[in-house]
């Protein structure tokens, strides 16, 4: 008798365990809610990536069901479209964790800025990261100064108009890594100038952080902005001290 009912009994137990686990792994509970916690989570994920100790969180069908009706990503990542810089992989995150915007050279126009504002204002993301990377083809193309066609020309023109790039070229010449960093600094400055972000930053609800990914090692580093601005004789745009 019991033997015949055993499969049904096991099935019920499995369903019960599954529903209990679902209840205790809701994204809202696990999600980092402050800029500091969000930054720490990203850097810890990159450490796991570097150490070959990936957890692959939130990459199951259960996670798909958890977030099917609402998303609560904990960070906006603006990165280059370069295939070597996939945010969810290098930060060891999963479905519903990161709000990702990718363009060549991590360049930001109005549509991208609107996407960031949406994620911060309506989804409550406490952190925005601009992630440049070593060996960036967009910056290399800009520095090589060759002829570009179609909309690629717009990418080069956007870089040419950045005050950071102009000053670096004038003072330091074609230093690839400095130009890559300068472009990231331009991105974070642009984001911070948006009223929605500015307001939230004043209340310490949001932070905007510049980062670099090294395609040679897989390591993500936070750019020390004060040191960078000092080293390259910059002041943040609009901040004439």
| Position 82 contacts Zn ion (CB under 5 A) | yes
Q: Which residue has the tokens 């601005």?
A: 229
Please pick, from the candidates 39, 67, 78, 80, the single residue that binds Zn ion as defined by CB under 5 A: 80
- By rule CB under 5 A, what string of x and - marks binding of each residue 27-66 to Zn ion? ----------------------------------------
| Position 119 contacts Zn ion (CB under 5 A) | no
Q: Among residues 122, 127, 129, 130, which one has the least CA distance to residue 205?
A: 127
d(CA 144, CA 154): 15
Q: Cβ closer to Zn ion: 134 or 194?
A: 134
Q: Cβ closer to Zn ion: 104 or 191?
A: 104
Give 175: exposed, middle or buried? Use CB within 10 Å, 0-12, 13-18, 19+. middle
Please pick, from the candidates 136, 168, 185, 211, the single residue that binds Zn ion as defined by CB under 5 A: 136
Q: In this chain, which stretch among 30-38, 62-70, 82-90, 230-238 interacts with Zn ion, using CB under 5 A?
A: 82-90
| Position 179 contacts Zn ion (CB under 5 A) | no
Q: In this chain, which stretch among 1-9, 47-55, 135-143, 171-179 interacts with Zn ion, using CB under 5 A?
A: 135-143
DSSP string over 144-207: HT----TTHHHHHHHHHH-HHHHHHHHHH-S-HHHHHHHHHHHHHHHHHTSHHHHHHHHTTS-E
Bridge-based pairing state of the strands 207-213 and 220-222 = antiparallel
Tokens of residue 234, six digits: 């910059």
| Position 159 contacts Zn ion (CB under 5 A) | no
Report the interface residues with Zn ion, using CB under 5 A.
80, 82, 136
């Amino acid at each position: 008798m019991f033997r015949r009912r055993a499969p049904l009994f096991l099935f019920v137990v499995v369903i019960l365990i599954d529903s209990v686990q679902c209840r205790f792994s809701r994204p809202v509970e696990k999600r980092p809610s402050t800029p500091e916690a969000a930054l720490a989570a990203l850097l810890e994920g990159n450490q796991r990536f570097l150490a070959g100790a990936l957890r692959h969180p939130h990459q199951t069908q259960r996670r798909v069901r958890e977030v099917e009706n609402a998303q609560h990503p904990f960070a906006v990542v603006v990165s280059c479209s370069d295939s070597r810089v996939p945010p969810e992989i290098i930060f060891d995150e999963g479905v519903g964790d990161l709000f990702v915007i990718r363009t060549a050279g991590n360049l930001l126009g109005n549509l991208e800025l609107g996407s960031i504002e949406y994620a911060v204002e309506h989804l409550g993301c406490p952190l925005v990261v601009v992630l440049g990377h070593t060996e960036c083809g967009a910056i290399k193309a800009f520095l090589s100064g060759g002829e570009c066609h179609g909309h690629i020309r717009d990418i080069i023109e956007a870089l040419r108009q950045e005050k950071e790039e102009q000053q670096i070229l004038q003072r330091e010449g074609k230093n690839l890594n400095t130009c890559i960093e300068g472009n990231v600094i331009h991105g974070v400055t642009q984001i911070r100038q948006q009223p929605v972000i500015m307001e939230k930053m004043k209340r310490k609800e949001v932070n905007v952080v510049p980062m670099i990914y090294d395609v040679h090692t897989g390591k993500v580093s936070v750019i020390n902005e004060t040191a960078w601005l000092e080293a390259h004789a910059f002041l943040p745009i609009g901040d004439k001290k």
